[in-house]
Amino acid sequence: MITIPETDLVVHPLCLGSNIFGSNADEAQSHAVMNAYFDQGGNFIDTADMYNQWVDGHVGGESETIIGSWMASRGNRESMVIATKVSKMDRRPGLSAKNIFAACEESLDRLQSDYIDLYYSHEDDLNVSLEETLGAYAQLIAQGKVRYIAASNFTPARLRESIKFSEDNNLPAYVAVQDLYNLVNRTEYEGEMSQAVAELGLSNIPFYGIARGFLSGKYRPGVTDVDSLRAQGALEHATDKNFAILAAMDGIAKAHNASLSAIALAWLRAQPTVSAPIASARTVAQLNEIIQVVDLTNEEVDLLTTIS
């Protein structure tokens, strides 16, 4: 278990993503995955109010509802660390105080919980003052409805501005970011954003830790018929350079008797500003591939860093 910097949240090194709960995975499949995760010591689940409004007939909140029903059935809310998000749901856009208060209540209802452990601004809202947004979070924290706040999809400059505003005005500050980062998506995070996160003493809880499944190793040159509902997204990474990354991972995975997914997540954990990477699973078999925690040698980390 690890402690997320700037918090007292003690979590499993794998944050279980739930964007597919209610879409690629129905309720029964989702409950089975969460059962397997929890039974192997997992306690950290990431969701958002907007999950999964992109599915025909859905309006958002489906993932939260499934997580809520699962926690109710297990009676384990106090054992879990739940992260959810506000600002990107079609019916609840933006970071106005009014919207944050309403969205929070709706998320709590769906999660069947009195509190949210980590509440993200899912994206920035330049139309609302920092005073209003952070003031709203301050009220929710004072009421015990939210424990910590975090930021997703912010620019480095805006993250710094937000943190400084919090410090100058004695308001709750973002304790973490959630940004895209993995072995085949490095340029967007590395550089100004990772530098800001390091200097502010925060951490990244990166999404798409295995690049929509590409880094599981199921996708190889000439392979186009993988049994996955995320195949199209994964195949966006099908380049010679990225296939070379998989080839390097093959040897490392064999040395550790581990899945390629576990190696991809281990490389992320070895990065100084990463705490717990996020990955999702549609089946228990997929969950077992991502939950293994591997400690890479410095040489293995360097090899993957160089190749990628």
Task: List pLDDT tens digits, range 251-300.
Answer: 999 999 999 999 999 999 999 999 999 999 999 999 999 999 999 999 99
> In this predicted model, what pLDDT tens digit does every residue of 169-200 receive, in sequence order?
999 999 999 999 999 999 999 999 999 999 99
Kind and range of the H or E run holding 266: helix 260-269
> In this predicted model, what pLDDT tens digit does every residue of 129-159 receive, in sequence order?
999 999 999 999 999 999 999 999 999 999 9
How many angstroms separate the CA atoms of 191 and 32, rounded?
Answer: 39
Q: Is residue 34 part of a domain?
A: yes
Task: Report the DSSP pairing between strands 2-3 and 10-11.
Answer: antiparallel
Q: Is residue 213 part of a domain?
A: no
> In this predicted model, what pLDDT tens digit does every residue of 18-75 receive, in sequence order?
999 999 999 999 999 999 999 999 999 999 999 999 999 999 999 999 999 999 999 9
Q: Is residue 234 part of a domain?
A: no
Number of domains in the chain: 1
pLDDT band of 223, cuts 50, 70, 90: low
> In this predicted model, what pLDDT tens digit does every residue of 107-121 receive, in sequence order?
999 999 999 999 999
Active-site residue list? 51
Q: Is residue 254 part of a domain?
A: no
From the list 149, 20, 44, 138, the residue with the least C-alpha distance to 87 is 149
Q: Is residue 15 part of a domain?
A: yes
Q: Please give the pLDDT value at position 238.
A: 86
Q: Is residue 301 part of a domain?
A: no
Q: Please give the pLDDT value at position 38.
A: 98
Q: Is residue 151 part of a domain?
A: yes
Q: Is residue 154 part of a domain?
A: yes
CATH number for position 133:
3.20.20.100
Return the HEC string of 40-92: CCCCEEECCCCCCCCCCCCCCCHHHHHHHHHHHHHCCHHHCEEEEEEEEECCE
Range of the domain at 111: 2-178
